[in-house]
Amino acid sequence: MPKKGPDFEQTGDSEKQKSGKSTMGENSTSRLYTNLLIANYLKRNGLEDSLTAFIRETALPLSALEKTKSSYSNVGEIPLEDLQSVIEDRIYYKKLSFEDRLKNLSINDDLAPIDNAKYGIQSWNYSLKFSIDVKLNEALPKDTLFISTTFTEDGKYLLLSSATGDLVAYDIRKATSKSFKINEKVKSIVKLCGSIGSSGYHYVCPMNGSFYLLNKNFEVIPNGVWKIHARMITHIKICNVTESSWFIITSGMDNFLRLSLLEIKDGSPFFTQLSEIKLASNCTSLNVIANGGNSGRRNSFSVFLTRAEFTHIACYSIIDAKNLVHSYNIALNNAEFSTYAFNIRDVIVVDFVHSNNEDTVKLTPSTMLVVATSHKPYMRLVLVEIPMNIGYSMSMELGEVQTYYDKIIRNFATEICQDDFSLPILRKLDSSNGILVGNDEGIYSVDLMTGDSRLLNIPNKANFLHNRIKCMDVSRDQMRVVAGTSTKSIYIIKVIKNVY
């Protein structure tokens, strides 16, 4: 009897070991067979890039895709099952369960079809990786909240303005920064800052409605200060006219849209206000597109403006290089007699077919607008087509403004939370095939093809981004993203393109 226990325990252990080996063998077999089914599915459907990546990551031999042999049969070769057929058999027995589960995969119903050949919209590029490049707080003034940030056109500097009145120029190549007490010169906190094309000149717009011209050393140029608006400049766009002149298009809290001309003659700046339009409510976004040869006029630009309590996008044309004329409106709702149902929070211009390496996007058939709405509790995004027949017409002189109700390409909901006080920031990221949205919870990536949205995945160091985004910009080469949060953290994020 005393021996029986140990013998029994030993037998039990042996059975467990055998059972464990059998389980490990079954797991290995099922894993290998699953990989074969997936690889065969990818090959049959012509998904060559995905197949290449899958084979590389699983170390699966290519010869295994054609057929598999059974060592337990004398029949010879057994063909591989089709993955889709296996799934269809599984769904057949639990059809209702699968239907309910699939309904929760997307918050949108079937999206409207889109002309991919025309607009170049593709699914989000998941081969892109994001990583923290530089923590700027270590090179910037301590305990400072930055409210504006932008890359210079040449990509050498990052300009940042703070809530305490500092203007910081961060040298990206040298990883050094220089702080300027710009508020001592402008007598106000700087709201907007940036570079003027590739000229080497820069600008700042404090809250007093003035425009200050800075030299390459970020010093205010004598006689380089002009009062454009009675109150703060909220939006500004700069368009190159000649090598030494630029259109300055601004909107302010005084509800004016103004067109001005900045010229540099013999090293001296000259500023001329050309045209203005009184707006019925404050501007919420401002974009400019170069018409190119579409209007038949040199230096022709279209200004796309949205304003509060107005669900139309207003287009203004610059005529004869000096006059702003209201060309047309694009309605974002279907109610012809109702012009207000929600607010437009931000708008950007995107073109995924043609690369735009200049300071102003040129109009092409693939150019479109991406609109962020004020819908609560989740933002909606609207993709809008731009009419190609924009040019001067007699109807403009007569004040006849056409409104388009058929230019919405796609309208879908996102998972981006917002409230009455949210101020989202939209930026395009060409290499991703989508856009980035900075909002109250961090930075979201948005797939314009599927409508999916999710928080940007930055391994190990994403906690700082799970806060309200106060400022954000993408570099001209699309390889860096800068983001600052309400917690006073500010980082440069590197965009990494995986090449297989």
User: Which domains does the chain show, CATH number per domain?
Assistant: 4-103 (no CATH), 116-242+282-497 (2.130.10.10)
Least-confidence region, from 9-23, 148-162, 306-320: 9-23
CB-CB contact of 359 with 197 (8 Å): yes
- Using a CB cutoff of 8 Å and minimum separation of 24, what contacts does 255-263 make? 255/279, 255/280, 255/281, 255/282, 255/283, 256/229, 257/283, 257/303, 257/305, 257/316, 257/324, 258/228, 258/229, 259/318, 259/322, 259/323, 259/324, 260/211, 260/226, 260/228, 261/322, 262/196, 262/213, 262/238
Pairing of strands 323-331, 312-319: antiparallel
Least-confidence region, from 102-111, 265-274, 303-312: 102-111
Place of tokens 């608006």: 229
CB-CB contact of 294 with 391 (8 Å): yes
Q: Is the previous residue joined to 377 through a cis bond, with omega within 30 degrees of 0?
A: yes
Place of tokens 């337990």: 72
- Whether the per-residue pLDDT at 95 is higher than 60: the answer is no
Supply the pLDDT for residue 335.
Answer: 57
Note the pLDDT tens digit of each residue in 202-233: 999 988 899 999 998 888 898 999 999 999 99
- Residues 388-398, mean pLDDT to the nearest whole number: 57
**Would you place residue 165 in the very low, low, confident or very high pLDDT band (cuts 50, 70, 90)?**
confident
44's enclosing H/E stretch is helix 4-44
CB-CB contact of 353 with 119 (8 Å): yes
Least-confidence region, from 94-108, 161-175, 375-389: 94-108
CA pseudo-torsion sign 182, 186, 187, 191: negative
Supply the pLDDT for residue 75.
Answer: 44
- Residues 416-445, mean pLDDT to the nearest whole number: 92
Supply the pLDDT for residue 319.
Answer: 86
Supply the pLDDT for residue 11.
Answer: 43
Supply the pLDDT for residue 81.
Answer: 77
Note the pLDDT tens digit of each residue in 263-300: 999 889 999 999 999 999 999 999 999 886 544 445 68
Supply the pLDDT for residue 4.
Answer: 43
**Would you place residue 1 in the very low, low, confident or very high pLDDT band (cuts 50, 70, 90)?**
very low
- Residues 1-5, mean pLDDT to the nearest whole number: 44
- Mean of all residue pLDDT scores within the chain: 82
CA distance 416 to 374: 11
Max mean pLDDT range (291-300, 310-319, 358-367): 310-319
**Would you place residue 57 in the very low, low, confident or very high pLDDT band (cuts 50, 70, 90)?**
confident
- Whether the per-residue pLDDT at 78 is higher than 70: the answer is no
Supply the pLDDT for residue 255.
Answer: 96
Q: What percent of the chain has pLDDT over 70?
A: 79
**Would you place residue 51 in the very low, low, confident or very high pLDDT band (cuts 50, 70, 90)?**
confident
Q: What percent of the chain has pLDDT over 90?
A: 40
**Would you place residue 404 in the very low, low, confident or very high pLDDT band (cuts 50, 70, 90)?**
very high
